[in-house]
Amino acid sequence: MKELPVRTEGAFAKRTNPLAHVFDEFVRFCRSHSLFMLHYCTGCGAIELPPAMTSRFDMERLGIQPMVTPRQADILLVTGYVSVKTLKRIILTYEQMPAPKYVIGICSCTVNGGMYWQSYATAKVLADYLPVDLYIAGCMPRPEAVVSGMRKLMGLIKTGKAESWKDYYRRYDHYLGNQQALFGERWQTPTDVLGEAQQYGLHGPETEGEHTALLQQVQQPLIPHRMRLK
Amino acid sequence: MTLLDGLWLASALTALAAGLFGRSPSAGPWLTALYGVQFLLVAFMGPLAYGADPVPASPAFSVLGYGLSWQFTALSWFFAVITAGAALAAAWFMSGAWGRHYAEQGGDLRLLQLALALNPSTMYVLLASRDFLSLFVGWELVSWASFVLMLAAGGVGVRWALRYLVYAIGGAMAVMAAMVLSHALTGSFEFGALAAVVPDLSAGTLWSLVILLSGGFGVKMGLLPFHLWQAGAYAETPGPGSAFLGAISSRMGLYAMLLTLFGVLGLGTLKALSIPWTPLEAHELLAWIAAFTIVLPTFTALKQNDARWLLAWHGIGQGGYMLMGVAMGDALASAGGLMHVFNHATYQAALFMAVTAVVYRTGTADLNKLGGLVTRMPLTFLVLLVGIIGLAGLPPMNGFVSKWLIYRALIDDGQPLLFVAAVVGTLGTIVSVYKLLHNIFLGQLRVEHESVREVPGSMLAPMLALSLIVFVTGLAPGLVLDWLTTVQRELGLAVLAPTLGGVERPDGGLDMLWVVGILFAGFGVGALIFLAGGRARTVHQLDNYAGGHFLTAEVRYHYSDNFYAGLMHRIGPWYRGSFQWLQDSVVAATDLLAQAAAGVYRVVQPAAWLLGVTVLALWWVAA
């Protein structure tokens, strides 16, 4: 791995007072070294993940390992082109992840549609619908590139710069608008994003708008049973 | 009047009261109080477990010159305290809402109360027996009492009760044959007389005694291959009845075996009795039967789709651990085997009650029709959870201690194969009780169970009390092991030196106080992280991950049918029903013989045969 030019330091501003945020930094350090990723294997990029995770490149030495459910996952890997139908599932899965959560778009298709640019059924720019922290471009990116991207994300988390999940709450109306434009007006997920925005203290002026108003009109509650200890 | 007389009187009074007033559901609490009196009387005999002199019964009969006498010893007391506790719990469980519900459903509450009351009272007679005659009287009483209890259900239960009856009569015949043999050898029915001549008996005679006694009493225990009656008979009995039967009834077989095989013949005799051309001795043969009794019924339980049947099959399998421990006979193993009687009674009664509580609320014990009830019946869930941890033999519950003692002894005795059998049985238990817990309480709640509520206090209280016992005797097993040292001394076995937390040994003992402490320290760390972490959000059950699929209430995502499909793919072909085949062929052979006999004397000249038999009989009488 020596020959890989991985640069995470230097790209960020120098801290002024080293003791100011000791606890925050410690938490971020721990967090960056213990990442569970849910790989939502949508396209060809998924084929590069097994070598990246197993003994050849061994992502686990960085503290990154796969997780089977979004409820325990930190990273959502979207590994290729996303059709409209798939995108609904990705958004559902993303919203089920607890914060802080990070999205990595792998392959050119997540950046701009890639070779599916002309497809009527493919969402072109993933970042229109979800806050993407990091793209790993390539068709497909080699495991070295995947590992390099992961280290980049770790650096971002360590320095407190991987905060785009907050953007989803702060500008939910924007993301929801794009989702509604693609899926239609009756689009909804079971997750109460507005409630979560309140809970995380991220409810801002752009959280609600015309699109969330539309959502609240069409929202169907989940029936019939709530999991609650009586 | 001794305490034992008082106990008999109290239990007879309970049965009388149950027969007179049992029909009315409001009699439930009063009957429970009577069971409480029985329990207190047994508790007053507690010094027996710490080496006090035996408590005799005042009545003593003499029939044709043979005396019958009764007395309680430490062994009797150990089984009696379990019996009294199980009866009290079962009566308490049915004293309120359950009894009313049962009567409303058309059940005969009087019959059930009476049958339940008869069981402990007959067991106290059996447990006090001190010679072959009183043993046989008690044995028959117990058999018939449990037959009546199984019969109380009506319907399918009757078929199973009748099957039990056939097995029980067969077992009683074997026991009677052993008595006759013993009488032929000694001219008396006293245990002491037989024990005195044991050293002079030939191997063939000893083998006959061992086979007749272990086979006869083994029927009640459900030892292989006499186990086919038990699961159905116990499972189809009405709830509290099955809790009582599952807890203690079949252990009477172990008690009688302990009394005769170990108390009279002695472990030394069994150890000296080798099977020709094999390296096995008699006690190892028993241990091997126990091993098969552990493994096969446990894996049959894995296949059950009815919660009550699943538990009843486990009852058979756990009996194997008890016999295995006792048959190995050293201090650790016999203490483990005996303690397992107590442990099994506590958690099995709690488990049957929890399942009955589920049936009471939902109307079904079908594991494919339940799910998600933890949100509706959290306390029943807790009881079932504690119970299955005990049944699976995991810390911190008491089942772990007894199984640990047995495992440890098997390793010490150099019995790797028996050890593997015991562990494989435990594995099957863990796997199947998870199925029980998952299919009833975890997963998706069914729409029709939306309005299910927790069961009322009269049902919860005995369940929770039993769970508490399961935990406390797991935390401090020395409480029970202390009694067992006296029992071991009485049976002439090696005596364990227990501590409050388990046993101390130079090569690594067991201290449950530490084990439980460390376990809860771990939970404590987890709780600290949970409490110190961010605020939790409750999400809707259908807001769940299914590979990104949008879940709706119309489709069930709770997989319960064909639960261990992968495992069943491997072991499924082994369930060939060979024991069922064995039973069927015995039935067929008996049927054929009966038909042949009937054909001879009823079809071919019956009058001539009758005449011939009469003439022969007259000739015999005249001669």
Q: Does A219 touch chain B (CB under 8 A)?
A: no
Choose among B224, B207, B214: nearest CA to B276: B207
Nearest to A199 among B372, B454, B535 (CB): B535
- What integer pLDDT is reported at residue A14 of this predicted model? 55
CB contact under 8 A, B545 and A229: no
Percentage of residues in chain B with pLDDT exceeding 70? 100
Q: Does A13 touch chain B (CB under 8 A)?
A: no
Q: Does A69 touch chain B (CB under 8 A)?
A: yes
- What integer pLDDT is reported at residue A223 of this predicted model? 66
Tell which wins on pLDDT, A135 or B580: A135
Closest residue of B to A71, CA-based?
B545
CB contact under 8 A, A89 and B542: no
pLDDT per position as a tens digit, B189-247:
888 889 999 888 888 899 999 999 999 999 999 998 888 899 999 999 998 999 999 99
Please name the residue that has the structure tokens 């259908």: B542
CB contact under 8 A, B540 and A222: yes
pLDDT of A18 higher than 70: no
- What integer pLDDT is reported at residue A167 of this predicted model? 93
Nearest to A190 among B375, B540, B548 (CB): B540
Cα of B524 to nearest chain A Cα, Å? 21
Mean pLDDT of chain B: 90
Closest residue of A to B378, CA-based?
A229
**Exposed e or buried b per residue across B106-125, where buried means at least 16 C-beta atoms within 10 angstroms of its C-beta:** ebbbbbbbbbbbbbbbbbbb
Choose among B55, B78, B79, B56: nearest CA to B67: B56
CB contact under 8 A, B375 and A190: no
Among B residues 367-396, those touching chain A with beta carbons less than 8 Å apart = 372, 374-376, 378
Cα of B359 to nearest chain A Cα, Å? 20
Domain ranges of chain A: 22-162, 163-219
Going by the DSSP 8-state scheme, the letter that residue B117 receives in this structure is H
Helices (H), chain A: 22-32, 49-53, 84-96, 108-112, 143-158, 164-170, 172-183, 193-200, 210-218
Whether B350 contacts B381, CB under 8 Å: no
- What integer pLDDT is reported at residue A148 of this predicted model? 94
Q: Does B543 touch chain A (CB under 8 A)?
A: yes
Which residues in chain A have Cβ-Cβ distances shorter than 8 Å to B549? 89
CB contact under 8 A, A224 and B550: no
Choose among B219, B84, B37: nearest CA to B583: B219
Interface test with B, best of A30, A31, A187, A222 (most B CBs within 10 A): A222
Percentage of residues in chain B with pLDDT exceeding 90? 59
Q: Does A230 touch chain B (CB under 8 A)?
A: yes
pLDDT band for position A226 (50/70/90)? very low
Structural tokens at position A136: 């790993």
Percentage of residues in chain A with pLDDT exceeding 90? 57
Closest residue of A to B546, CA-based?
A69
CB contact under 8 A, B450 and A225: yes
Instruction: Report the run of H or E that residue B220 belongs to, with start and end.
Output: helix B203-221
Nearest to A96 among B372, B450, B545 (CB): B545
Mean pLDDT of chain A: 86
Whether B245 contacts B145, CB under 8 Å: no
Peptide bond into B225 cis (omega under 30): yes
Q: Does B555 touch chain A (CB under 8 A)?
A: no
CB contact under 8 A, A225 and B538: no
Cα of A1 to nearest chain B Cα, Å? 34
Q: Up-side HSE of residue B342: CA atoms within 13 Å toward CB? A: 31
Which residues in chain B have Cβ-Cβ distances shorter than 8 Å to A222? 540, 542-543, 553
CB contact under 8 A, B540 and A92: no
Which residues in chain B have Cβ-Cβ distances shorter than 8 Å to A227? 375, 445, 538-541
Instruction: Report the run of H or E that residue A65 belongs to, with start and end.
Output: strand A64-66
pLDDT per position as a tens digit, B255-273:
999 999 998 988 888 888 8
CB contact under 8 A, B553 and A222: yes
Structural tokens at position B459: 């049902």
CB contact under 8 A, B454 and A230: yes
Choose among A99, A101, A106: nearest CA to A41: A106
Which residues in chain A have Cβ-Cβ distances shorter than 8 Å to B448? none
Interatomic CA distance for residues B147 and B154, integer angstroms? 12
Q: Does A227 touch chain B (CB under 8 A)?
A: yes
pLDDT of B371 higher than 90: no
Which residues in chain B have Cβ-Cβ distances shorter than 8 Å to A183? none
Length of chain A counted residue by residue: 230
Which residues in chain A have Cβ-Cβ distances shorter than 8 Å to B372? 225
CB contact under 8 A, B550 and A96: no
Mean of pLDDT values over A163-190? 92
Helices (H), B476-603: 478-491, 512-532, 565-571, 578-598
Closest residue of B to A94, CA-based?
B548
pLDDT of B63 higher than 90: no
Nearest to B553 among A88, A224, A227 (CB): A224
- What integer pLDDT is reported at residue A229 of this predicted model? 44
Domain ranges of chain B: 277-533, 580-622
ipTM confidence: 0.78
Choose among B128, B127, B124, B146: nearest CA to B7: B124
Q: Does A222 touch chain B (CB under 8 A)?
A: yes
pLDDT per position as a tens digit, B318-340:
999 999 999 998 899 999 999 99
- What integer pLDDT is reported at residue B286 of this predicted model? 92
CB contact under 8 A, B543 and A40: no
- What integer pLDDT is reported at residue A169 of this predicted model? 94
- Written out in words, the top-level CATH class of the domain with range A22-162 is alpha beta
Q: Does A90 touch chain B (CB under 8 A)?
A: yes
Nearest to B548 among A40, A224, A227 (CB): A40
pLDDT per position as a tens digit, A77-134:
999 899 999 999 999 999 999 888 999 999 999 998 889 989 999 998 999 999 999 9
Q: Does B602 touch chain A (CB under 8 A)?
A: no
Which residues in chain A have Cβ-Cβ distances shorter than 8 Å to B547? 89
Q: Does B553 touch chain A (CB under 8 A)?
A: yes
Residue B231 dihedral angles phi and psi, to the nearest 5°:
-60, -50
CB contact under 8 A, A196 and B537: yes
- What integer pLDDT is reported at residue B234 of this predicted model? 92
Nearest to B445 among A88, A190, A225 (CB): A225
User: DSSP string of B424-484?
Assistant: HHHHHHHHHHHHHHHHHHSSPPPGGGTT--PPPHHHHHHHHHHHHHHHHHHH-THHHHHHH
pLDDT of A6 higher than 90: no
pLDDT band for position A4 (50/70/90)? low
Interface test with B, best of A225, A226, A230 (most B CBs within 10 A): A225
Going by the DSSP 8-state scheme, the letter that residue B602 receives in this structure is I
CB pairs under 8 A between A and B: 65
pLDDT per position as a tens digit, B537-568:
778 778 888 888 888 777 777 788 888 888 88
Question: What contacts B588, CB < 8 A, 6 or more positions away?
Answer: none
Mean of pLDDT values over B169-194? 91
CB contact under 8 A, A227 and B376: no
Whether A33 contacts A69, CB under 8 Å: no
CB contact under 8 A, A228 and B372: no
CB contact under 8 A, B548 and A223: no
Closest residue of B to A227, CA-based?
B541
